[in-house]
Structure 1
Amino acid sequence: MVAEQDSLINTSSSSSISILKYSINDLLINLSDCPEERKLNGFKSQLLKQWELSADKGTLNYHVGNCKFRKLDGQYKMCLQLNEDRCRKRRKPMEFNSVCQSFDEKLWNFTKLKQEECLFYFDKINENSSKYPGLIAINASPLSVGHSLLIPSPQKCLPQIINFESIKMSIELLLLIEDCNFLIIYNGLMAHASVNHLHLQTLFWPCRGGIMEKLVKPTSTNLNMLFLLERPNWYLPAFVFQLVNLNDIDKISKLLEICAKFLIQKGIAHNLFICRSKQFINQSNKAENKLNNECSKELVTLYLFPRKPSKGYS
């Protein structure tokens, strides 16, 4: 259940930046279990409210409301956006020479954010509380209304290398938001990261298509939560992790961290895409899903895409 509305976001006495507190009871494996009242006044509502308040203070580089979307024909159901302002008015992305460069305090980083760009701190009740909470900040060059940045422990000044804590925080944020179109994206170094300070993109994508809509059928492995996505099921190969039970959040976070570390050791750039996808069939749920032909649940799913390295944006 969502906490009382007046305590969902509290203002710290030492800072005017709000703190969003949540507990494991707030995490939604299945959105169909979400109460109607929470859909109206829950975590999504709070995020968008804080985002609009920040935007009203002039934090955006452009107005985002008039972007055009187009869904392409073909087996992958890709969705494109025309956003000319983002190309022209965003801060110039940095270029990198390695997938594991160290953090450099002399370069632009998220410690330089203005206070009005910071929406709220993001902290779990009774778990490593408050010392290094995550920060949600507005993206000044957004793709859509609500486009924000999840910055895990910004004071630690970590480089743009995904780790256990950031993966777990991302999973739990997606489990909190009462919207199947909410996405979280990580671009690693040499995989279109724009700044070398650990962060992920969070956004509501109004054109539901691509891997969110297509029922992909990855190959199951000996680990029930790990799948392999290969052609022709999708045009890019990926390691895929799907969360069926809240008790597996730590296991998936650790397993994905191990995969990411392996890619870094091999010098392989990578992206992470987190969304809700149809439940995959594996050995443990095969009998259960056989009666229904396919499972109707949309579960938090993480796609780790290895890719060729790129120094910057073309």
Structure 2
Amino acid sequence: MAVPQNINETSHLPPLSNGCDEQSRLSVGLGVLDFVYRQEELRVKGIQWQTSESGELCPPLLSRFDCALQSSWKQRMEQGLFRYCLGDLQTQILPGPLGFVAQLNVERGVQRRPPQNIQSVRQAFDPQQFHFNKIQPGEILFHLCRDPGFPMALQCTEVLVIINVSPLEWGHVLFVPEPTQGLPQILMPGPLQFGIEAVMLSTHPGFRVGFNSLGGLASVNHLHLHGYYLAHKLPVEIAPSQPLDPSGHIHLLEGLPAPGFLFYIDEPGPKLEALVGRVCQVTNYLADQEIAHNLFVTRGAPPGNPPSSLTYSGIRVILWARKSRFGVKEGEAFNVALCELAGHLPVKTSQDFHSLTETSAVNLIQQSLLPPSQFLQLQEALVSLLK
């Protein structure tokens, strides 16, 4: 499971290429551009990391979705709509078997919006607090919509794609489903399926989607998922796992500092809809039990032992149950949320970035985990829940 121990001075995405035509990417809706996609655009197999003869990752071919997101995101950066100019982030692969990707992102630690006052995983939406109906119109990139001929009909029919004004990495966006409904930060099937389908729409293996619950470092109590590009492999893509039930509906992810629950899908359609239902059944249970959680969606290998090659044939949905934390704790090298549990560590200060080791990172991550006895009880409860 080890990742090559390369150290890069910066980490960035390649410029738009592959014949992307700005005029053909989006159609005009009611004041906001629409990105309408068809089921045949959802690609699961055949997307993988490409390496050069020197072992460096090569720029991937970009899909229609990638072109639309990256070009409009870059335009908003040029317009000065972010809290800071992201630039290229200093990046290193921490020495050790896990292959953590550490990035120095000082501005995010300083400039990001302070988290809201949250006291419960199931806290109600408060229209007096900041929410995504209060953003500037220019922060909206487009509506993500299914073509009318799409065979599946979920309650959530469209998602607003907006910039994260305090980006973690290049292309960092938020998926906000039905924003005017004022939905609290509790995962729902429709929005989750949109998030997984967004990963399938991208042909960049480093485009990931995630969710932080309240108490799991979500800073805004208005339903949203994160999406962003990271041009590095992560340990969760190939970490081994073992099935927890005979049907293989849920697996235990192993070999990482934070054991997680793994769900896997290798095709869109009814199987994806069933997986989404199982994941949300689990997250609803966690919310009812006031257990904070983080979720990460990435292309990856099937469950089981580590693969012999980096050919990814499906989508991994990884769910971590963790200790609740309300507010951001100062003085730590990084906060533990969805990307940190996956092995991507945005570090706040130069001193911490240069002194961080795999051991110190693991220790910090494990401080956020449930006690082993509670985790074992939860594991048994979830297996019973999904029977």
User: TM bucket by the smaller chain?
Assistant: 0.7 to 0.9
Distance 1:192 1:154 in 2: 20
| TM-score (structure 2 length as normaliser) | 0.71
Q: Which moved more, 1:258-267 or 1:39-48?
A: 39-48
Runs of 5+ unmatched residues, structure 1: 283-288
Report if the CA contact (8 A) 1:132-1:155 is conserved.
Answer: no
Matched residues in 1 for 2:195 and 2:229: separation?
14
Whether 1:200 aligns to 2:215 is no
Deviation at 1:5, TM superposition (A): 7.5
Aligned-partner SS, 1:169: helix
- C-alpha RMSD of matched pairs (Å): 2.5
Q: SS state of the match for residue 112, structure 1?
A: coil
Structure-1 residue corresponding to 2:17: none
Is 1:87 matched with 2:104?
Answer: no
What is the aligned counterpart of 2:42 among 6, 15, 27? 27
Alpha-carbon spacing, 1:184–1:129, altered in 2? closer, same or farther (3 Å) = closer
Shift of 1:206: 2.4
User: C-alpha separation between the residues in 2 aligned to 1:31 and 1:53?
Assistant: 30
What is the CA deviation profile of residues 229-279 of structure 1, one whole-angstrom value per residue up to 9, with x for unaligned ones? 24xx12112111111122311001000000101111111000001111112
Amino acid at match of 2:300: S
> Closer, same or farther in 2 for the Cα pair 1:293/1:54, shift >3 Å?
closer
Counterpart pick for 1:58 among 74, 80, 98: 80
- The correspondence of residues 145-224 of structure 1 with structure 2, limited to 5 A, is 145-212=170-237, 215-220=238-243, 221-224=245-248
Residue 227 of structure 1 is matched in structure 2 by: 251
**Does the 8 Å CA contact 2:262/2:319 hold for their aligned counterparts?**
yes
Distance 2:299 2:160 in 1: 22
Is the contact made by 2:267 and 2:314 (CA closer than 8 Å) also made in structure 1? no
Contact 1:238 1:305 in 2 (8 A): yes
Alpha-carbon distance change, 130 to 269 in structure 1, aligned in 2, over 3 angstroms = closer
Closer/same/farther in 2, CA of residues 195 and 40 from structure 1, 3 Å limit: closer
Partners of 1:129 and 1:250 lie apart in 2 by: 9
Per the normalisation by structure 1, the TM-score is 0.87
Percent pairwise identity: 26
Q: How many residues align?
A: 294
Q: Distance in 2 between matches of 1:276 and 1:32?
A: 8
CA distance in 1, matches of 2:213, 2:227: 15
Partner of 2:283 in structure 1? 260
Q: 1:176–1:302: structure 2 CA closer, same or farther, 3 Å change rule?
A: same
Does the CA-based 8 Å contact 2:253-2:259 persist in structure 1?
Answer: yes
Which residue identity is paired with 2:198? Answer: L
Q: Distance in 2 between matches of 1:52 and 1:216?
A: 33
* Deviation of the 1:300 alpha carbon: 1.1
Structure 2 residues without counterparts, runs of 5 or longer: 1-20, 49-59, 330-387
Of stretches 57-66 and 194-203 in structure 1, the one that deviates more from structure 2 is 57-66
1:136: which partner in 2? 161
| Cα 1:129/1:263, change in 2 over 3 Å | closer
* Corresponding position of 2:118: 96
Q: Structure 2 CA distance, aligned partners of 1:71 and 1:293?
A: 21
3-state secondary structure, aligned to 2:61: helix
